[in-house]
A = this chain, B = another copy of it.
């Protein structure tokens, strides 16, 4: 793990959690009280918003571009806002956008965290699912003040085990341990033993290479289809790894409406309005390509434009596209 994250942890720096989501919930319990403020990317992970919100905090969305969170905007907030107790970021293959920070911003965030003495939770569950280029060092690897926590999970082993981890300075992790005792006593020991035994007996890197190949292929098909079929007014990210791509429709089109049309055809995705903690942007949604067999991503058997307009769609992208037209030109479709 140290090798993957560029860190030097020992066992006092790590707590095994009930999935990386528990790392977020415990972070809320350790750091947040009523009235506290959490700066985060805009948009950010929906279930982190729920986890933190339950401790009474509110959020300031920091503008975020292709290279990550805007550090000038963050510093302005840190400079002018009381009660900032935690900064929450997902620097690698972000959920929901699939975007990845560049190398400079993690360094700058570490500086700001030290300067303003604010904890950072770096949520990093998708780190190993990289399809191209080199793995970047974690934000935690630049930390000298001991303010940065990093969470992740054993998603790379197999989903459903709900075994994750949070790492950080040993005095902070000690607090997490105490708080976790009141929450659930311990994690599933049998699941931990299973994973430990797997790691001992088999080559996890080989396993990762295998699933990365599958996910990469699905991403490639998804992106290719979207490039080919989507109208110009639909924008989307081209992630270098992870599980998601993020789609922006023209502002007047609601992803929820598109979803309701897709659901009639048993196709689903996540509309992302609620990934913006303060103001919903309902024209956005997230596609998870990792869980979709290749032959269901495409348009399938499509009698394309047979009567001078779209006639028959199938497949994931096909239904999305159909739904888009059903919403955009409601009178032209039956």
Tell me the bound Cα distance from A183 to B165 in angstroms. 14
Task: Tell me which of A47, A159, A161, A185 has the highest count of chain B C-beta atoms within 10 A of its own C-beta.
Answer: A185
Interface size on A, residues (CB 8 A): 29
- The segment out of A18-26, A109-117, A296-304 that lies at the interface is A18-26
Q: Does A181 contact B (CB under 8 A)?
A: yes
Tell me the bound Cα distance from A20 to B29 in angstroms. 19
Do A162 and B184 form a contact, CB below 8 Å, given A34-B34, A190-B191? yes
List residues of chain B with CB within 8 A of the CB of A50.
Answer: 181-182
Whole-angstrom distance from the CB of A26 to the nearest CB of chain B?
Answer: 9
**A119-136, CB < 8 A from B:** none
Q: Are B18 and A184 in contact, CB atoms less than 8 angstroms apart? A: yes
Residue of chain B at shortest CB distance from A30: B54
Do A22 and B188 form a contact, CB below 8 Å, given A29-B54, A34-B34, A54-B29? no
Tell me the bound Cα distance from A189 to B51 in angstroms. 21
Tell me the bound Cα distance from A191 to B195 in angstroms. 13
Q: Does A216 contact B (CB under 8 A)?
A: no
Whole-angstrom distance from the CB of A44 to the nearest CB of chain B?
Answer: 14
Q: Does A292 contact B (CB under 8 A)?
A: no
**A183-219, CB < 8 A from B:** 183-191
**Which of B34, B163, B179, B183 makes the CB contact (< 8 A) with A22?**
B183
List residues of chain B with CB within 8 A of the CB of A181.
Answer: 47, 50
**A38-60, CB < 8 A from B:** 47, 50-51, 53-54
Whole-angstrom distance from the CB of A208 to the nearest CB of chain B?
Answer: 20
Whole-angstrom distance from the CB of A41 to the nearest CB of chain B?
Answer: 18
Q: Are B54 and A179 in contact, CB atoms less than 8 angstroms apart? A: yes
**Which of B54, B163, B183 makes the CB contact (< 8 A) with A182?**
B54
Tell me the bound Cα distance from A51 to B182 in angstroms. 4
Tell me the bound Cα distance from A25 to B182 in angstroms. 7
Tell me the bound Cα distance from A184 to B162 in angstroms. 8
Residue of chain B at shortest CB distance from A187: B162
Whole-angstrom distance from the CB of A157 to the nearest CB of chain B?
Answer: 11
Please name 8 further chain A to chain B contacts, defined as beta carbons within 8 Å, in addition to the given A51-B182, A162-B189, A191-B191, sorted by A numbering: A18-B18, A21-B185, A25-B183, A51-B183, A159-B189, A160-B188, A161-B190, A190-B191
Chain A residues within CB distance 8 Å of chain B: 18-19, 21-22, 25, 29, 34, 47, 50-51, 53-54, 159-163, 179, 181-191
